[in-house]
Structure 1
Amino acid sequence: MPETQPIPRPVNQHSAYHAHVYFDAETLEFATSLCRQVGERFQLEVGRVHQRPVGPHPRWSCQIKFNRDEFELLVPWLEQHRQGLTVLIHASTGNDLEDHTTYAYWLGDPVELKLAMFQH
């Protein structure tokens, strides 16, 4: 049986982050509600609910911006309330390739990102 790599868990080691909540047509209503709750509960900037793949994200998604001070409250809350949705949490350092690889963490099953757009 092949050895599997452990899923990188979120680590609070940067000043800024993005979380991307992934969903599909069946989970759209729940994901929309979850993202709205995050914005209201944590007073965070929540992006549009994209019903198509955007950028490196191969699934429908919604972006949440937060910082290191909000990390310790938001990430456990997302873990508890995501009801099976996959959430990518990554640093926002200005290096998009590293942010989406080296500094990418997952709640739920990892998704293969479209990284070619970051490679020059």
Structure 2
Amino acid sequence: MDDKNAPYHAHIYYQLADRVAAEALHLRLSGLKEAAGAAPILYVGQLRDRKVGPHPIPQFEIHFIKANLEAIVPIIESSGLTALVHPLTDDDVADHTSLARWIGEPIELDLAPLDPPGMNKGVARFGKTDF
């Protein structure tokens, strides 16, 4: 079954030297969230200039549904920044590894903070909050 309403995240990574590019993408994605009608972005998180959770470098996350995946990926790609795009399932580790798609050069994540299989706190905060 292909659920077009399945929840997705993208984590957009940046170095502090690339923060201007990250801010520009953040602004563009925030504009899509504010768009009238069926906005393709449900949530845009804060730019985090430090390690957070499994993410070893600065990043921000966005939330959207699978139906909007193919519209959002080219926008991220055009920024030149690295991103991890993944579904939200009940397996947080798989979401960030085997089910994930990288845009740009992959970054080694710290998997230790991720929830064990069968539990994913990200599902409960989908569309509402980031870290």
Identify if the C-alpha distance between structure 1 residues 33 and 114 changes in structure 2 by more than 3 Å, giving closer, same or farther: same
More relative contact order in 1 or in 2 (CA 8 Å, sep 6+)? 1
Distance 2:31 2:82 in 1: 21
Q: Which runs of 5+ in 1 are unaligned?
A: 1-11
* Segments ≥4 residues shifted beyond 3 Å: none
* Cα distance in 2 between the residues matched to 1:55 and 1:49: 14
Give 3-state SS (helix, strand or coil) of 1:50's partner: coil
Deviations 1:33-70 (A, max 9, x none): 10120121354210010000100001100001011111
Residue 88 (structure 1) aligns with: 84
Partner of 1:65: 63
Determine what percentage of the aligned residue pairs are the same residue: 36
The aligned runs of 1:26-105 (5 Å cut-off) are 26-42=17-33, 43=39, 44=41, 45-79=43-77, 81-83=78-80, 85-105=81-101
TM-score, scaled relative to structure 1: 0.80
1:15 paired to 2:12: no
**Total equivalences in the alignment:** 107
Structure 2 Cα separation of the partners of residues 13 and 89 of structure 1 = 15
User: Counterpart of 2:104?
Assistant: 108
Q: TM-score, normalised by structure 2?
A: 0.74
